[in-house]
């Protein structure tokens, strides 16, 4: 609690999946939160929960340097969690320009604003997608970053930019690379977890864009929030500053295995519709979190069954409210 009490924290992407849960976690720990909001979506968990009334809102986009400097300077921010991004692989494939604007230009703009204003701690959200398709799994932090597809490359670029600002300007930055994040509040229905839950709650067959064999890490949003807080709290340590850390639940699953698990959490199992039309997707991706365990003392504590049960409960409440 004392680590965050009185700190002024900027969260970019505050209305997104992770931002909507990181923000109240910071408030509970006594921080004063500044939320950068691009579009005030009334269905965002940040708004629906009423949390937005407890924070200072700065309207704007991460690509605009003056906005970022104003948010940091005027509100005396000392810690930044940079979460804002275009996060969908399919959209990146259809519109790479907008993805690069948001994820690459947005990241170097945030970093530059932090450099100019002397921010004390910066956590940048990267992704396992930055590794690209590796021959050896699981990915460790020493696995080369060899992304090729637009979304993956945008995360690689942000990752490299963050490390450049550390090496060149000694900016106190750490990088988080997570697997596929799931949890209540994700309203991108094309994603496998929310889309499958909604379909099953409606007694409809879930849609699978791929052939169902893609293997991924799935990490619960509450664990990601704790990982980001852990990372920021230890950024003063030389073995943390400038480093990247993988965060994973350590249980890679195929899409079809995940759908089976979601069916168990919902209490309804229906045969999925396999469309096999996914593009720009890597066949197998999963992470080792050994560095996070040994250096940060972080480890996954949410079994998949618990995370899915809490997630399904959130969507039941949400869909009952909008039906």
Tens digit of each residue's pLDDT (9 = 90 or more) over 152-204: 999 999 999 999 999 999 999 999 999 999 999 999 999 999 999 999 999 99
Cis peptide bond upstream of 24, omega within 30: no
On whether residue 130 sits in a domain, the answer given is yes
- Cα-Cα-Cα-Cα dihedral sign, residues 14, 20, 22, 27: positive
Q: Residue 51 belongs to a domain with what CATH number? A: 3.40.50.720
Identified catalytic residue from 151, 182, 218, 228: 151
Ordered strands of the 56-59 beta sheet: 56-59, 32-37, 8-12, 79-82, 121-125, 173-178, 244-247
In the annotation, is 151 catalytic? yes
Cα distance between residue 23 and residue 51, in whole Å = 8
On whether residue 155 sits in a domain, the answer given is yes
On whether residue 128 sits in a domain, the answer given is yes
CB atoms under 10 Å from CB of 175, counted, come to: 25
On whether residue 199 sits in a domain, the answer given is no
pLDDT at 135: 85
Tens digit of each residue's pLDDT (9 = 90 or more) over 94-112: 999 999 999 999 999 999 9
On whether residue 146 sits in a domain, the answer given is yes
What is the domain extent for residue 159?
Answer: 8-182+218-248+287-302
On whether residue 59 sits in a domain, the answer given is yes
**Averaged confidence pLDDT in the chain:** 95
On whether residue 255 sits in a domain, the answer given is no
| DSSP class of 173 | E
Q: How many domains does the structure of the chain reveal?
A: 1
pLDDT at 218: 96
Tens digit of each residue's pLDDT (9 = 90 or more) over 71-82: 999 999 999 999
On whether residue 257 sits in a domain, the answer given is no
Cα distance between residue 232 and residue 80, in whole Å = 9
């Amino acid at each position: 609690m004392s680590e965050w009490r009185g700190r002024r924290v900027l969260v970019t992407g505050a209305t997104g999946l992770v931002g909507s849960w990181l923000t109240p976690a910071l408030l509970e720990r006594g921080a004063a939160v500044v939320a950068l909001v691009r579009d005030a979506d009334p269905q965002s968990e940040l708004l629906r929960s009423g949390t937005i009334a407890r924070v200072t809102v700065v309207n704007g986009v991460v690509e605009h340097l003056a906005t970022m400097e104003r948010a940091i300077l005027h509100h005396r921010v000392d810690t930044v969690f940079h979460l804002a991004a275009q996060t969908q692989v399919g959209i990146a494939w259809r519109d790479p320009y907008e993805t690069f604007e948001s994820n690459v230009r947005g990241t170097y703009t945030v970093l530059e604003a932090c450099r100019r204003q002397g921010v004390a701690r910066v956590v940048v959200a990267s992704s396992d997608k930055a590794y690209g398709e590796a021959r050896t799994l699981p990915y460790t932090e020493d696995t080369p970053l060899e992304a090729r597809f637009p979304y993956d490359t945008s995360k690689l670029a942000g990752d490299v930019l963050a490390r450049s600002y550390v090496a060149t300007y000694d900016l106190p930055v750490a990088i988080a690379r997570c697997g596929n994040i799931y949890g209540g509040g994700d309203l991108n229905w094309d994603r496998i977890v929310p889309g499958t839950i909604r379909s099953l709650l409606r007694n409809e067959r879930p849609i699978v864009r791929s052939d169902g064999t893609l293997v991924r890490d799935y990490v619960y949003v509450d664990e990601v929030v704790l990982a980001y807080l852990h990372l920021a709290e230890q950024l003063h340590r030389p073995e943390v500053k400038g480093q990247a850390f993988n965060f994973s639940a350590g249980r890679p699953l195929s899409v079809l295995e995940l759908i089976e698990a979601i069916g168990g959490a919902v209490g309804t199992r229906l045969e999925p519709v396999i469309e096999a039309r996914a593009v720009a997707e890597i066949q197998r991706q999963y992470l080792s979190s050994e560095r996070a365990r040994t250096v940060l003392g972080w480890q996954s504590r949410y079994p998949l069954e618990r995370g899915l049960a809490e997630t399904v409960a959130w969507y039941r409440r949400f869909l009952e409210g909008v039906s």
